[in-house]
Amino acid sequence: MSDHYTYRITWSAEDNEHVGLCAEFPSLSWLGPTPAEALSGIQHLVRECLADMHTTGEAVPEPIADRSYSGKFMVRVPPESHRALAIQAAEQGVSLNRLVSARLASTT
């Protein structure tokens, strides 16, 4: 199951090495001289953590990739932002939902 988790490799200028991260275990990281070594290191660390969690009976985080998503979530914004977005949506002839969805999609 550890291979279903969400891993990311980034560069750390502070450490002058690549950093392996796992979204489901935000407190874990692994430094490596190459991206491959950083990935291998964080995957190994997650496997060790999972083994410890199973041993102690702790709940194991469900991998993000294995979760179901409805496509709906609520976001609270200041009333001024809501008004400004509603005006922009009206001016573009689209729903507020479509406008915000398009904006969110353009940032990912």
Question: Tens digit of pLDDT for each residue in 23-44?
Answer: 999 999 999 999 999 999 999 9
Are residues 39 and 73 located together in one domain of the fold?
A: no
> What is the residue range of 96's domain?
69-106
Mean pLDDT for back-to-back runs of 10 residues, the chain (108 residues): 88 98 97 98 97 96 94 93 94 94 89
Are residues 7 and 58 located together in one domain of the fold?
A: yes
Are residues 35 and 55 located together in one domain of the fold?
A: yes
pLDDT of residue 2: 64
Are residues 58 and 77 located together in one domain of the fold?
A: no
Are residues 81 and 102 located together in one domain of the fold?
A: yes
Say how many C-beta atoms besides its own lie within 10 A of residue 61's C-beta. 16
pLDDT of residue 107: 83
Are residues 82 and 32 located together in one domain of the fold?
A: no
Are residues 51 and 74 located together in one domain of the fold?
A: no
Structurally, the chain folds into a number of domains equal to 2
pLDDT of residue 108: 74
User: What is the maximal distance between C-alpha atoms in the chain?
Assistant: 58
pTM for the predicted model, two decimal places: 0.74
